Amino acid sequence: MTMTDTTTTGTTTTGTLPRTDVAALARDVVKIYGRGDTAVRALDGATLSIPAGRFTAVMGPSGSGKSTLMHALAGLDTVDEGQVLIGDTDLGRLSERRRTLLRREHVGFVFQSFNLVPTLTAAENIVLPLTLAGRRADQAWIDEIVAMLGLADRLRHRPAELSGGQQQRVAVARALAARPRIVFADEPTGNLDSRAGEAVLGFLRHAAHELGQTIVMVTHDANAAAYADQVAFLADGRVAGELYNPEVPDILARMAGLGAREK
């Protein structure tokens, strides 16, 4: 393992939150799609530090680059300029295979939909990253998160037999199962009704606060973002500001500002 928990970088966070370790860092990241006239700078010098053990939300209007930034931070995609670190590992130096292995070991994912392999049971889906890596699951830990997410009686079911909320909870459990350094959630409640969505968000917040799990969530929903410890706002491929201990009205105001700037 190339990373240690005590690594810090020179980046500082200001505001009302205490200083913490940095779980992941994007520095001056540029990502360009296409070439020539049709080239789009999806990220244009984005810098964002993800504090360890916190729940961070990333918001921004469509096309602001929030998903691209998340993919870059998660090692799903490469960047054209700048640096992306998970812990002290520079993703830019890794081969595709090494990035896959790093994801398997250190990153968890929750997507908006289609999170689960339909042929595997809930229990099998939860330990999938571990089994793919040939690692043994820490059963006590799995039991703990399964209990926390209220999935104990759903473990033998296949995804098709679960409700949308249950499916997302299984996805959260899977993301947590390998005790990753960082969990990325991409609009995890986008397809859920509000009650199921609130439950999932509650679990994510709980995981950060009680279990010390670093969580990054991309969303466009201010109500969802309000569950986070901090919100980073993106516009035009740059981080346009951050908000700590956010409340819904503040978030909406900042978003409105971004929208205005867009025009």
Partner 1 sequence: MIAMWHLIVRNTVARRGRLALTLLAVLLGVTFVTGSLVLTDTSQRLLDDQFRTATAGVDLTVRDAAAFDSAMGVEVERDPLPAEVVDRVRAVPGVAAATPVVRGQGLIGVGGKTIVPAGPSLLLSWEPAPVGAFTLRAGRAPAAEGEVVVDAATARRHRIGLGSEVTVRAERTERLRVVGLAGFGSGEGLPETTVALVTRPAAQRLLALGDNASEVAVVAADGADVQRLRSAVSAAIGAEYEVSSSRDVAASSAAAAKTQISYLQVMLFALAAAALLVGAFLIANTFSIVVTQRTRELAVLRAAGATGAQVMRSVLGEALLVGLAASAAGAGLGVACAAGLRDLAGAFGMTLPDGGLVVTPRTLVVAFAVGVGVTVLSALGPARRAASVAPVEAMRRSSADDVPGRAGWGRTVVGAVLTALGAAGLSIVLAGPGSVVVLGEAAVCTVVGLALLGPAVTPALIRLLGRPLGAAGVPGRLARESAARAPRRTSATALALAFGLALISFMTVLGTSIKDSTARSYTEAITADYVVESARNEMLGGLPAHAYHHVSELPQVAVASRLRYGHWKDGQSTEALTAVDPVTLPRVTSLHMVAGRLDAVANGGIVLAANVAKERNLKIGDTLAMTFSRTGVQRLPVVGLLRDRDAQALSTGYVISLDTFERNYREHVDASVFVKVAGGVSGADAKRAIERALADAPAAQVRDQAAAVAGRNAMIDQVLGLVTALLMLTVLIALMGITNTLALSIIERTRELGLLRAVGMTGAQMRWMIRGEAVLVAALAIVAGVGLGVAFAAGTVTALGRTTEATLTLPVGQLLLVVAVAAVAGLLAGLLPARRAARLDVLTAIATS
Which structure tokens are listed for 81?
């300029």
Is residue 216 part of the contact set for partner 1 (CB under 8 A)?
no
CA distance 21 to 9: 8
Nearer to partner 1, 177 or 255 (CB): 177
Contact 106, 87 (CB under 8 A): yes
| Distance in Å, CB of 217 to partner 1, minimum | 16
62 in contact with partner 1 (CB under 8 A): no
| Closest residue by Cα to residue 77 from 88, 87, 67 | 67
253 sits near partner 1 (criterion: CB under 8 A): no
Among 20, 83, 113, 223, binds partner 1 (CB under 8 A): 113
**Does 230 contact partner 1 by CB under 8 A?**
no
Quick note: the x/- pattern for partner 1 over 130-149, rule CB under 8 A, is -xxxx---------------
Tell me how far, at minimum, the Cβ of 162 lies from partner 1, in Å.
10
Question: Is-contact 152 160, C-beta < 8 A?
Answer: no
Does 96 contact partner 1 by CB under 8 A? yes
Region near partner 1 per CB under 8 A, out of 11-19, 112-120, 214-222, 239-247: 112-120
Would you count residue 166 as binding partner 1 (CB under 8 A)?
A: no
Q: What's the burial of 99, exposed, middle or buried (CB within 10 Å: 0-12/13-18/19+)?
A: buried
The sign of the dihedral angle between the CA atoms of 73, 75, 79, 84 is positive
Q: Is there binding between residue 157 and partner 1 (CB under 8 A)?
A: no
Residue 2 within binding range of partner 1, rule CB under 8 A? no
- CA separation, residue 226 to residues 2, 160, 181, 214 (Å): 34, 31, 23, 16
Which distant-in-sequence residues (6+ apart) come within 8 Å of 198 by Cβ?
Answer: 189
Q: For residue 166, what are its two tokens?
A: 């249950």
Binding site for partner 1 (CB under 8 A): 71, 76-77, 96-97, 100-101, 103-105, 108-109, 111, 113-120, 128-129, 131-134, 159-160, 174
